Amino acid sequence: MNVHDSERLSGLLESAGYERAADGADADIVVFNTCAVRENADNKLYGNLSHLAPRKQSDPNMQIAVGGCLAQKDRDTVLKKAPWVDVVFGTHNIGSLPTLLERARHNREAQVEIVNALQEFPSTLPAARESAYAAWVSISVGCNNTCTFCIVPSLRGKEVDRRPGDILAEVQALVDQGVLEVTLLGQNVNAYGVSFSDERLREDPTTPPELPRDRGAFAKLLRACGGIDGLERVRFTSPHPAEFTEDVIEAMAETPNVCPTLHMPLQSGSDRILKAMRRSYRAERYLGIIDKVRAAIPHAAITTDLIVGFPGETEEDFQATLDVVERSRFASAFTFQYSIRPGTPAADMPDQLPKAVVTERYQRLIELQERISLQENQAQVGREVELLVATGEGRKDASTARMSGRARDGRLVHFAPGTGDIRPGDIVVTTVTGAAPHHLIADAPIAAHRRTRAGDAHAAGQRPRTGVGLGMPRIGVPAPAPAAGGCGS
């Protein structure tokens, strides 16, 4: 989500007349789009701001902006810790960035603008997409859950959903520009549609307040994406186990361009800890979903999120997590050591665990998941895979001249391109010959290579653009513009 927001920020700045700074060049504007989920995000931001202080001192006209979740949370704290910052803006008003930069330049003082409600859905803003072949598409922002470890709902607000027609129009616009793959984004995608009844009530006060929510809205959206000609791959992230319904599984299985992959956050395998987290499902419910997905989509690659060391977690609770991980056979997992996030209920809970205990458990979980990931990847050896060629993801041995791509199930594959002129954005078919915990190797000859419009666009340096903009004047470029002008975001 933050990556996609950064594309919006880049699009806004380019629409205002700025140009992206060349790699290694000193930018006139540096924008930090921040996260607040983990503690190290705070440390990383303020460390980076400190590194920029000498540059700002030597060039007072250079501007620094801080936005996103950490800015929404810290507000005036950013300027107290880094008074050389020019602009602080929140999650609900990213469209204000060009105006705030101009105002800070004109008034010669820092501008702080944090609003508490969404001003416009981010997808109405221009976006400078990073990829010619794969794109993010937001279907909702905000979250109505109250997980005790998570600060996102207080920073992003209640869930607001986009109308299906708006989403499909954006997807179509991307496909028209050559994009082959879209990932539908939401804090809880399978709650999609929850805000529609509220919207109808606002539009027509005579609407019955008990108007039922359309719980099938997300499954319908997936099926509608299946009807877009030229859209070859559809992914989504992230669903919530408590609201994951069988109609979504059916839509995944029956819609050819929906990829056989599912990211399903578990967080803990202990029912007692799940209750303390306010996660409204239990381990057996979670495992039941996994079984149903695999019954309908046998080769689905399932990934997850896990938190180690939640307040009060006992060795028995942790063992329950290991047991669920063993049974789930995740292709991979994003694992986190719990850290206190001020403003969340968990921050004030008793029985906060010692760091040494959390670290030791974390290492045991990593070792288990690495073993499972390797076994699951070794099971792919000998399988033919269709890859969407990427720009070079992950680490690979440069001496082999391998390229990288993503299989339909999301696995990263480093493959031998042979002598063909294969470009990022093209489609190739090859056979898996080796495996590691985090990637596959395909040194077999290329069985098929399809050149695509996305590959043409990548080779030409073209990137798709979406968003209607806000009709704002092209403000923001100082006169005269510096010879090495640019923006880094």
Binding site listing for [4Fe-4S] cluster: 143, 147, 150
List C-alpha distances in Å: 309 to 113, 216, 263, 333, 349.
36, 36, 22, 16, 13
Which helix H or strand E contains 353, and what residues bound it?
Answer: none
Q: How close are the terminal C-alpha atoms of the chain, in Å?
A: 15
Burial of 135 (0-12, 13-18, 19+ CB in 10 A): buried
> What is the residue type of 318?
F
SS3 at position 352: coil
DSSP class per residue in 119-148: SS-GGGS-EE-S-SSEEEEESEE------T
> What is the residue type of 383?
R
If we measure between CA atoms, which residue out of 242, 234, 134, 148 comes closest to residue 188?
242
Hey, what are 426's tokens? 């093209």
Contacts with 107 (C-beta within 8 Å, 6 or more apart), sequence order: none
Hey, what are 64's tokens? 């620094």
Q: Is the dihedral of CA 459, 424, 394, 401 positive or negative?
A: negative
The pair phi, psi for residue 117, each rounded to 5°, is: -140, 150
| Helices (runs of H) and strands (runs of E) counted in the chain | 15, 22
If we measure between CA atoms, which residue out of 9, 12, 131 comes closest to residue 473?
12
| Residue 461 CA, distance from chain mean position | 24
CB 305 within 8 A of CB 339: no
Distance CA 161, CA 151 (A): 20
* Bridge partners of residue 20, in order along the sequence: 487
Distance CA 287, CA 294 (A): 11
If we measure between CA atoms, which residue out of 339, 395, 378 comes closest to residue 362?
339
Question: Angle formed by the axes of helices 355-378 and 315-328, to 10°?
Answer: 10
CB 52 within 8 A of CB 75: no
DSSP label at 95?
G
3-state helix, strand, coil in the chain (%, to 5): 40, 20, 45
Which helix H or strand E contains 183, and what residues bound it?
Answer: strand 181-185
Provide the annotated binding site: 143, 147, 150
